[in-house]
Amino acid sequence: MTADRPVPSRAPGRLGGVALVLGGALSVQFGSAVAALLFPRTGVAGAVTLRLTLGALLMLVVCRPRLRGHGRGDWAAVIAFGLALAGMNSIFYQAIGRIPLGPAVTLEVLGPLALSVVGTRRLAAWCWAGLALAGVALLGQGGFDRLDPLGVALALLAGTMWAAYIVCSARVGARFPRADGLALALAVAALVTLPIGLADAGGRLFHPAVLGLGAGLALLASVLPYSLELAALRRLPTATFAVLMSLGPAIAALAGWLVLGQALHPVEVVAIGLVVAASAGAVRAATPPPPPPVTPAPAVSAAAAAPTARR
């Protein structure tokens, strides 16, 4: 960079990160609807195995990550990321096997929202989190009486794993180039879930129609969203990423209605809207105010006065 070239604004990178998160959310929620179509054929564990195993194979072929040159801390981060992926997917699929997709994701996003509140440590963030809890309480008034209690508990537990996934994904993205760390973590998740899926579904996993649906599931629910999210985490703070992902309930409700025919009660629609509104408010609360403009001294070049940009 020459001394007289202006430093580019970081706003386009932030806006691009938001677009990546939303694209990943659309992909993963419609992928979850496809997974629910697989449950009668493969069982929940079989669907998880298809998603993670085929997703891992696709990512390993495309990325061809290097196995050498990584330290012990790098491999520890990959293993933790893989365990978070395996736990998050397995627990959440068990939840949507028992309760509708929209309410399940509404409960699940409490994990990322809690992460955003802890990350920002601002009073406004706590207020928005309170609004989200009010939405969940309203959801209970409209539907918890018709929801499987075990499904509700599993959705909440999946939210905890989702928060762990966000933290682990950011660490792996900082340690590995491109999507190499994601490919390796998916391989770890596939190895963890494969024995369970084979024991549950057996030869049904190898039926051509099941493999076709599984490949679509792996692409929609693993390869595409995780790649987009990993790229987004390189552009956005972890807390901002977490609350943007909280838009998932509205997208999940739409996917459940379009793909699975899961209609929502009016009270549930309002409840999901409150959670989405809380997420949008938390995004603003998590965004730091822009620094005041500083006029450089005449003897100092613009490049020397500007802060070093993050990679």
d(C-alpha 181, C-alpha 16), whole Å:
21
Span 132-157, average pLDDT: 77
For the beta carbon of residue 237, count every other beta carbon within 10 angstroms.
Answer: 17
Span 107-113, average pLDDT: 80
- Measured CA to CA in angstroms, residue 107 lies from 110, 154, 155, 272 at distances of 6, 9, 6, 10
- Measured CA to CA in angstroms, residue 224 lies from 28, 79, 186, 197 at distances of 8, 21, 13, 22
Average pLDDT, the chain: 78
The percent of residues in the chain predicted with pLDDT above 70, rounded, is 79
Q: How confident is the model at residue 304 (pLDDT cuts 50, 70, 90)?
A: very low
Instruction: Kindly report the three-state secondary structure assignment for every residue of the chain.
Output: CCCCCCCCCCHHHHHHHHHHHHHHHHHHHHHHHHHHHHHHHHHHHHHHHHHHHHHHHHHHHHHCCCCCCCCHHHHHHHHHHHHHHHHHHHHHHHHHCCCCHHHHHHHHCHHHHHHHHHHHCCHHHHHHHHHHHHHHHHHHHHHHHHCCHHHHHHHHHHHHHHHHHHHHHHHHHHHCCCCHHHHHHHHHHHHHHHHHHHHHHHHHHHCHHHHHHHHHHHHHHHHHHHHHHHHHHCCCCHHHHHHHHHHHHHHHHHHHHHHHCCCCCHHHHHHHHHHHHHHHHHHHHHCCCCCCCCCCCCCCCHHHHCCCCCC
Retrieve residue 175's tokens: 């340690």
Q: For 8, what's the count of Cα atoms within 13 Å in the CB-facing half-sphere?
A: 9
**Range with the poorest average pLDDT among 57-61, 134-138, 230-234, 289-293:** 289-293
pLDDT in tens, 263-280: 777 877 887 788 778 766
Q: How confident is the model at residue 283 (pLDDT cuts 50, 70, 90)?
A: low
Q: Are 282 and 243 in contact (CB under 8 A)?
A: yes
pLDDT in tens, 175-202: 888 788 889 999 999 999 999 999 888 8
**Range with the poorest average pLDDT among 34-38, 160-164, 242-246:** 242-246
**Angle value at C-alpha 176, between 173 and 180, nearest 5 degrees:** 95
pLDDT at 302: 32
Q: Are 5 and 301 in contact (CB under 8 A)?
A: no
Span 222-228, average pLDDT: 81
d(C-alpha 243, C-alpha 120), whole Å:
11
**Range with the poorest average pLDDT among 34-43, 209-218, 301-310:** 301-310
